Structure formats: C-alpha cells, structure tokens
C-alpha cells in the first residue's frame, strides 16, 4: 500500500493513523493510534534477514489464486524485490532531506542572516518544511533529480560553512556535524 501510493515511511505511518481505509485493510480498530514510522524499516530488515519475503509472497499469491484474483500461467510478476528497492530508495531520500532540514533549522537559530546569504530561495522552499509533508515525484528520474538537488544544496551549505568568510563558531555546532554525515 505504501509503494502503490508512493509514500515515505513517515507518510505511511501518518496515513495509518488518519485513514479509515488503511486501518480496515490492516485489520486495525478505528481508535488504533498507529505506530512509529521506524517500524516499517525494521520490518523490511527482518523480512530480508530471515528470507521471509519469499514465504510471505508465496502465501499472498496462494491466497490470491484461491480467491480467483490471479490465474495460473498469468503474466504477474512474482518477486517483490522491485517494491522493496523502491521503498528503500524513498526511505533514503527522506532521511537525506530530513537531515538537511535539521541542519538548516540549527543554522537558522544560530546565524539567520548568514544563512540567508548562503541558501537559495528554491532550497528554502524545498527544505524549509518537513520532508514528510512533501509530495514525492512519481517518476524515478524526477526522484533522482530531487536527490541530486538536495545533495547540491548540502554541498553548497557545507562548503559555505567551512569557508573563511563563515563565522567560526558555526563549524562547531551540530549542524556542521549533521551535514558532514550526509
């Protein structure tokens, strides 16, 4: 469901908390508070580590065949690797974007005037809000362009942070550490 709606992990967790159709599909009570988005990544890791994705897929396909939703000798794709890879890529894009968002917020608190001179208006518009509230592009090429734009913004900001013209105290703040990790 997450893949079909092109949602990041945190967006999917928010949808589980707020949409009746997802609660119904997952067998949750309407009053269920949902879960933390990190559960999804941990779940995928456990599936892959235990090679359970193949058993899970086989169980689903068997159920679909029994209900007449799939036909024998059909042209359906029977592996889930493309879905797992797509969700993993979305999760990585979300992490990188949230990291830049956190660094911008830290720098905005410490040196707002300096930061305004370093970051473009486009970067502020894209990274000024939480990535969970951002609608991801559907096309792989467009997501790649977004990742490259975030990377350029990160590199530009990190370069400015370590330039001689930047206030020296900024290099010792958590934002510099955050940007170095990206």
Q: What is the dihedral of CA 61, 66, 72, 77, to 10 degrees?
A: -20
Least confident of 21-30, 100-109, 150-159: 100-109
Query: Residue 26 pLDDT more than 70?
Result: yes
Contact 127, 104 (CB under 8 A): yes
Predicted pLDDT of residue 103: 79
Predicted pLDDT of residue 163: 85
Predicted pLDDT of residue 176: 55
Read off the tokens for 96.
């990188």
Query: Residue 70 pLDDT more than 80?
Result: no
> Which H or E element spans position 10?
helix 9-18
Instruction: Report how far residue 11's alpha carbon sits from residue 34's, in angstroms, rounded to the nearest whole number.
Output: 12
Query: Residue 55 pLDDT more than 80?
Result: yes
Average pLDDT over residues 73-96: 68
Helices 38-49 and 52-66: angle between axes, nearest 10 degrees: 100
Predicted pLDDT of residue 61: 83
Instruction: Report how far residue 22's alpha carbon sits from residue 130's, in angstroms, rounded to the nearest whole number.
Output: 23
What's the pTM value of the predicted model, to 2 decimals? Answer: 0.49
Contact 14, 133 (CB under 8 A): no
Residue 137 is given by DSSP the state P
For the beta carbon of residue 122, count every other beta carbon within 10 angstroms: 10
Query: Residue 135 pLDDT more than 80?
Result: no
Distance of CA 100 to CAs 95, 104, 131, 178, Å?
9, 6, 10, 8
Read off the tokens for 115.
């930061």
Average pLDDT over residues 91-108: 78
Give the residue with greater pLDDT, 131 vs 97: 97
Instruction: Report how far residue 157's alpha carbon sits from residue 139's, in angstroms, rounded to the nearest whole number.
Output: 27
């Amino acid at each position: 469901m997450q893949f079909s709606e092109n949602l990041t992990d945190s967006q999917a967790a928010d949808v589980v908390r707020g949409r009746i159709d997802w609660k119904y599909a997952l067998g949750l009570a309407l009053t269920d508070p949902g879960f933390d988005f990190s559960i999804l990544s941990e779940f995928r890791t456990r599936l892959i580590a235990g090679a359970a994705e193949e058993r899970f897929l086989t169980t689903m396909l068997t159920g679909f065949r029994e209900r007449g939703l799939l036909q024998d000798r059909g042209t359906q794709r029977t592996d889930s690797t493309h879905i797992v890879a797509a969700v993993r890529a979305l999760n990585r894009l979300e992490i990188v974007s949230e990291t830049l968002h956190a660094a911008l917020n830290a720098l905005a608190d410490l040196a707002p005037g300096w930061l305004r001179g370093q970051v473009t208006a486009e970067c502020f518009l894209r990274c000024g809000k939480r990535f969970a509230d951002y609608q991801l592009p559907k096309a792989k090429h467009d997501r790649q362009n977004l990742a490259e734009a975030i990377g350029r913004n990160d590199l530009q900001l990190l370069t400015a942070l370590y330039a001689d013209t930047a206030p020296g105290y900024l290099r010792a703040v958590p934002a510099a550490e955050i940007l170095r990790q990206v």
